[in-house]
Structure formats: C-alpha cells, structure tokens
C-alpha cells in the first residue's frame, strides 16, 4: 500500500509568518493529494487538494505544490493567524484507498 511521510511533526510560527509542511509518498500511481485540518475534538476537514495533473493550486492564504517526479508535495500557509492553529494531515490516494501522513501540529504564536 501507499506510504506517506510528513514533516515536521510540530511547527510553531509567529502570527503573520508563513508555515510550510512537506510530505512524500511512495507509490507513483497515487493521483490525488488532499490536505486536512483537524481541530481539537473534531474529525478532519478538507482544506485544499491537488490532482496529479496539476503542479500548484492556491486558495486565498493556502497553497499546495506537487512534484510528481520527486513524489513530494507541500502545504504553504501565508500570513498565519491564530485560527490556523490545528493539526494538519497530508494524504495520498490510489483509486479508493486513502493513506495519511502522521500529522503536523501547528501553533501560531500571537
């Protein structure tokens, strides 16, 4: 099955700075790469996704990049705000199987 590695495991940033989370995947057949945000006591929720035929996607302060050759993808959050504090998961999918990274706990310091 797919193996997704995520770094760093924790990230502390000053409010207004940028945050970057990186993931690698093992199976070149993976074609869909979503990012999820999990707040305390809740289930994960999709914040952005990218497909294998696209190199970059942006949605306001969030962007994701994908390098299929190197099999890695990254999440970029600009102008971080306190409400960005949460656990973020990357994932990769092959058809119906969806595999997650170990998660990054992001803390935005005021």
Partner 1 sequence: NAGVTQTPKFQVLKTGQSMTLQCAQDMNHNSMYWYRQDPGMGLRLIYYSASEGTTDKGEVPNGYNVSRLNKREFSLRLESAAPSQTSVYFCASTPWGQSRSMNTEAFFGQGTRLTVV
Give the residue with the Cβ less far from partner 1, 5 or 79. Answer: 5
Give the residue with the Cβ less far from partner 1, 78 or 105. Answer: 105
Give the residue with the Cβ less far from partner 1, 11 or 98. Answer: 98
Residue of 14, 40, 43, 110 that binds partner 1 (CB under 8 A): 43
Q: Binding to partner 1 by residue 44, rule CB under 8 A?
A: yes
Give dist(CA 103, CA 7) in Å, integer: 8
- Per CB under 8 A, contacts with partner 1 among 46-105 are 46, 49, 51, 89, 93, 95-103
Measured at the CA of 102, the angle between CA 95 and CA 74, to 5 degrees, comes to 70
For 76-110, b where at least 16 C-beta lie within 10 A, e where not — what string?
Answer: bbeebeeebbbbbbbbbbbeeeebbbebbebebee
* Rg over CA atoms, the chain: 13
Which residues contact partner 1 (rule: CB under 8 A)?
1, 6, 9, 31-32, 34, 41-46, 49, 51, 89, 93, 95-103
């Amino acid at each position: 099955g797919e193996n997704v590695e995520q770094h760093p495991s924790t990230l502390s940033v000053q409010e207004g700075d940028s945050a970057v989370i990186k993931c690698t995947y093992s199976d070149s057949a993976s074609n869909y790469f979503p990012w999820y945000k999990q707040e305390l006591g809740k289930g994960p929720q999709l914040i952005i996704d990218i497909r294998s035929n696209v190199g970059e996607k942006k949605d306001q302060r969030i962007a994701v990049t994908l390098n299929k050759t190197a099999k890695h993808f990254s999440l970029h959050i600009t102008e971080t705000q306190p409400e960005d504090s949460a656990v973020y998961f990357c994932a990769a999918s092959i058809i119906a199987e969806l595999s997650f990274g170990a998660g990054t706990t992001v803390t935005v310091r005021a």
